[in-house]
Amino acid sequence: MKSILQNHIDKEIPYLKQKKLLLAVSGGLDSMVLLHLFQELKCDIAIAHCNFQLRGVESFGDQKFVQDYAEANEIPIFVIQFDTEAFAKDYKFSIQVAARELRYNWFYELLETEKFDYILTAHHADDNLETFLINLTRGTGLEGLTGIPVQNNSVIRPLLFLSRQEIENYAKLNDIQWREDSSNASDKYVRNKIRHHLIPVLKELNPHFMTSFLKTEGYLQESLAMVEDAAIMIYQQVANEVDNQIHFDLNKLLQLPNYQSYLYQWLKEYGFSAWEDIYDLVVSQSGKQVFTADFRLLKDRDFLILSPIEDSQDETEFLINESVTEVNIPLKMTFSEVTDISVATNKTIFVDADQLVFPLMLRKWKTGDVFLPFGMNGKSKKVSKLFKDKKLSLIEKENSWLLCSNNEIVWVIGIRADHRFRTLNTTKNILKIELI
On whether the CB atoms of residues 116 and 21 are closer than 8 A, the answer is: yes
State yes or no: 27 annotated in a binding site: yes
On whether the CB atoms of residues 356 and 431 are closer than 8 A, the answer is: yes
Question: Which candidate, 126, 132, 148, places its Cα nearest to that of 196?
Answer: 126
**Chain centroid offset of residue 181 CA:** 24
**From CA 112, how far away is CA 377, in angstroms rounded?**
8
In terms of Cβ atoms closer than 10 Å to its own Cβ (0-12, 13-18, 19+), residue 421 is: buried
On whether the CB atoms of residues 339 and 430 are closer than 8 A, the answer is: yes
On whether the CB atoms of residues 31 and 25 are closer than 8 A, the answer is: yes
**Chain centroid offset of residue 2 CA:** 29
Residues paired with 336 in a beta bridge: 432
Greatest CA separation for the chain: 72
State yes or no: 29 annotated in a binding site: yes
Residues paired with 345 in a beta bridge: 348
User: Hey, how many other C-beta atoms are within 10 angstroms of the C-beta on 153?
Assistant: 15
State yes or no: 31 annotated in a binding site: yes
Question: Which candidate, 100, 78, 80, places its Cα nearest to that of 88?
Answer: 100
Name the 3-class secondary structure at 60. helix
List of residues 6+ apart from 258 with CB closer than 8 A: none
- Please report, in range form, the residues annotated as the binding site: 26-31
| Binding residue numbers for ATP | 26-31
